[in-house]
């Protein structure tokens, strides 16, 4: 190489080195700090340090947050990303860290993708905050790997630009500490379904709570699911018999309807729901009772009642007690709805009871405020209407389908009976008005009627079924019109009687008949009445057959009359014929039966 070539080579080399230095300076003096100043860049930079240590088999759990922060601050000052110097400064303590790491190596699997891992840096009020889950999705299930070797589930309910995920813990959050590893699952919340859950008491995440062992089913369904489309639905035309005389006659409920049960505390809301479950015995209807924020003693009492009545064979209880976390209480109704949808999609009829959505809204408010979401009216978040609307919209009557042999298969139905608790009868509060606007009618229970001894304490004034008589039994439908008129006239005349005004004989007869009708509509708890028995009682009451019996003996006479009907062989025939048509002979049968029964003086003793 000549001297000229050597000079030319050195000048070119020096120029390349100079340009490299300039480029290096631009990157680490301007470009990198600009990117690092952004929230996303800082999050990725910090998580790179976390995962770099994990990838090189260093002990994460013994690596304190303050040490990591010190290294990060040092890197900020130098503005140089020198990995070699980082490991050189850390290599002196590598031996002690390696020993502890080998002891806890089972907590971290090398086969897991590091991009699916995060690390908890804060735990507060059943909410765990983690970094590293940069690609996590909302409502995605994640798993906490605890030091005890067990796994704890959580749901991602908060994401920000810094790569921080807010996770609601489905369990005891006190076992989670800083640097606990969080792993993505890539699935939405799921729960066990199928016929194996019938007769069981389960948690919102599918765990058995009744002490009868694990649930043996291979079917799992998504807890969150879209409501059926309009094309997939069918008009509500089939009645759902609750066994409560007042509801079946005055406020009919159809299969696939959403009927709200609303009232103050201790007015019999749960009693109506339990009576509905008991009345479905032998009707091939699956019942699901969802307890939200209830005392565990109350849940155990409901389970005991259903077990004593022989109703657990077709019933599922999804329980989230008052001592459970807000996340479990929030998840409970969606879990129960997912189980019900499984049976509905398999052409079964389902009755789903949410007891109650007031506590569900409170649990969601608590969870939202802990996640720093802005509060709205009464402290509830802005989407509290949406959590109930998307839940109740999943109740539907599905259209019929045709199988391979061109046989028509009747579609299943999911009937929702949500319960709302009011305060001093205030139905204009936020949550009650929301649910009233979503549902297809409401059954309002008044505390004043309950205190007067009227059971169930249903107010006929504001209780309504918007589906109307389209889903009502044809026989009881004919009686309901005159029954409503008689009760309306009685309530109007009762107001005059309270003023102490003198009444004529016709008004007195109307009052006495109305009092007996009200007494006939009274019904003890956990004692549903068959539809045929209701028809016979209504015929007698509207026909004035109870006018010669004092009010104190009405309940006894009714009980003995129903016993006579149920014990006779003709009841089986009436149970089929009386539901579809009302022959003239049926009128004569009812009237003659009552006359004979009333003529027997021993019948009311």
Enumerate the active-site residues.
Answer: 466
- E strand or H helix that includes residue 319: strand 315-321
Tokens of 247: 């509801």
**Do β-strands 441-445 and 464-465 pair in parallel, antiparallel, or remain unpaired?**
antiparallel
- How many C-beta neighbours within 10 Å does residue 469 have? 16
b/e per residue 360-386 (b: at least 16 CB within 10 A): bbbbbbbbbbbbebeeeeeebbeebbe
**CA-to-CA separations, 283 to 216, 275, 287, 566, 578, in angstroms, rounded:** 25, 14, 11, 17, 16
- DSSP characters for 262-306? EE-TTSSHHHHHHHHHHHTTTTTEEEEEEEEEE-HHHHHHHHHHH
d(Cα 26, Cα 18) in Å, to the nearest integer?
Answer: 12
Say if strands 413-421 and 260-263 run parallel, antiparallel, or are unpaired. parallel
Task: Output the six-digit token pair for 211.
Answer: 């002490």
Strands 190-193 and 141-145: unpaired
Residues 65, 59 contacting (CB under 8 angstroms): no
Q: Give the number of C-alpha atoms closer than 13 A to the C-alpha of residue 377, restricted to the C-beta side.
A: 10
| Residue 141 · residue 154 · CB < 8 Å | yes
257: left (phi over 0), alpha (psi -120 to 50) or beta: beta
* Rounded Cα–Cα distance for residues 274 and 269 (Å): 9
| 3-state SS, residue 458 | strand
Residue 286's DSSP bridge partners are: 350
Distance (Å, whole) CA 197 – CA 340: 11
For 501, the 3-state DSSP assignment is coil
Q: Which two tokens stand for residue 303?
A: 């389970």
Residue 372: alpha-carbon gap to chain centroid: 23
Match 């969080």 to its residue by tokens: 182
Exposed / middle / buried, residue 464 (Cβ in 10 Å: 0-12, 13-18, 19+):
middle
Residue written as token pair 């699901």: 288
Give the pairing of strands 413-421 and 349-355.
Answer: parallel
- The two structure tokens encoding residue 570: 């003709």
Biggest CA–CA distance in the chain, Å, is: 139
Query: Would you say 348 and 255 are in contact if contact means Cβ atoms under 8 Å apart?
Result: no
């Amino acid at each position: 190489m000549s001297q000229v070539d050597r000079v030319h080579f050195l000048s070119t080399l020096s120029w390349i080195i100079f340009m490299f230095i300039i480029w290096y300076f631009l990157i680490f003096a301007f470009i990198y700090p600009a990117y690092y100043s952004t929230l996303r860049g800082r999050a990725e930079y910090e998580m790179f340090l976390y995962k770099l240590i994990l990838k090189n088999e260093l002990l994460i759990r013994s690596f304190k947050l303050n040490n990591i922060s010190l290294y990060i601050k040092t890197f900020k000052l130098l503005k140089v990303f020198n990995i070699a110097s980082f490991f050189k400064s850390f290599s002196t303590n590598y031996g002690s860290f390696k020993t502890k790491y080998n002891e806890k190596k089972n907590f971290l699997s090398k086969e897991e993708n590091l991009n699916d891992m995060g690390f908890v840096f804060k735990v507060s009020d059943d909410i765990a905050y983690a970094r590293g889950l940069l690609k996590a999705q909302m409502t995605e299930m994640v798993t906490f790997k605890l030091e005890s070797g067990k796994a704890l589930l959580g749901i991602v309910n908060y994401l920000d630009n810094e790569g921080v995920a807010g996770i609601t813990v489905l369990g005891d959050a006190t076992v989670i500490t800083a640097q606990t590893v969080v792993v993505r699952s890539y699935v939405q919340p799921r729960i066990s379904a199928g016929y194996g859950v019938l007769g069981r008491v389960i948690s919102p995440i599918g765990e058995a709570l009744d002490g009868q062992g694990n649930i043996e089913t291979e079917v799992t369904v998504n807890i969150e699911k879209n409501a059926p489309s309009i094309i997939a639905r069918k008009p509500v035309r089939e009645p759902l018999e609750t066994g409560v005389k007042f509801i079946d006659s005055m406020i009919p409920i159809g299969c696939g309807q959403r009927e709200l049960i609303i009232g103050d505390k201790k007015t019999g809301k749960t009693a109506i729901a339990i009576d509905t479950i008991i009345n479905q015995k032998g009707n091939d209807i699956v019942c699901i009772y969802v307890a939200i924020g209830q005392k565990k003693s109350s849940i155990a009492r409901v389970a005991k009642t259903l077990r004593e009545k022989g109703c657990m064979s077709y019933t599922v209880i999804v329980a989230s007690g008052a001592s459970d976390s807000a996340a479990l209480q929030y998840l409970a109704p969606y879990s129960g709805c997912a189980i019900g949808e499984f049976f509905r999609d398999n052409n079964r009829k389902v009755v789903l009871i949410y007891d109650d959505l007031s506590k569900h809204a409170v649990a969601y408010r608590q969870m939202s405020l802990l996640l720093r979401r802005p509060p709205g009216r009464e402290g509830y978040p802005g989407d509290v209407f949406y959590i109930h609307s998307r839940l109740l919209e999943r109740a539907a009557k599905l259209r019929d389908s045709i199988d391979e042999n061109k046989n028509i298969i009747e579609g299943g139905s999911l009937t929702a009976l949500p319960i709302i608790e009011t305060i001093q009868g205030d139905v204009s509060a936020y949550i009650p008005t929301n649910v009233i606007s979503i549902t297809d009618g409401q059954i309002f229970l008044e505390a004043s009627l309950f205190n007067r001894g009227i059971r169930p304490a249903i107010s006929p004034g504001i209780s309504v079924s918007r589906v109307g008589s389209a889903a009502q039994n044809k026989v009881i439908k004919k009686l309901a019109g005159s029954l409503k008129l008689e009760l309306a006239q009685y309530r109007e005349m009762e107001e005059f009687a309270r003023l102490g005004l003198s009444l004529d004989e016709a008004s007195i007869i109307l009052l006495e008949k109305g009092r007996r009708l009200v007494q006939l509509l009274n019904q003890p708890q956990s004692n549903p009445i068959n539809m045929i028995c209701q028809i016979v009682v209504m015929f007698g009451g509207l026909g004035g057959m109870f006018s010669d019996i004092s009010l104190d003996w009405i309940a006894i006479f009714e009980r003995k009359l129903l016993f006579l009907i149920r014990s006779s062989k003709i009841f089986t025939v009436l149970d089929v014929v009386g539901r579809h048509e009302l022959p003239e002979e049926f009128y004569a049968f009812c009237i003659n039966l009552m006359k004979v029964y009333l003529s027997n003086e021993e019948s009311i003793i």
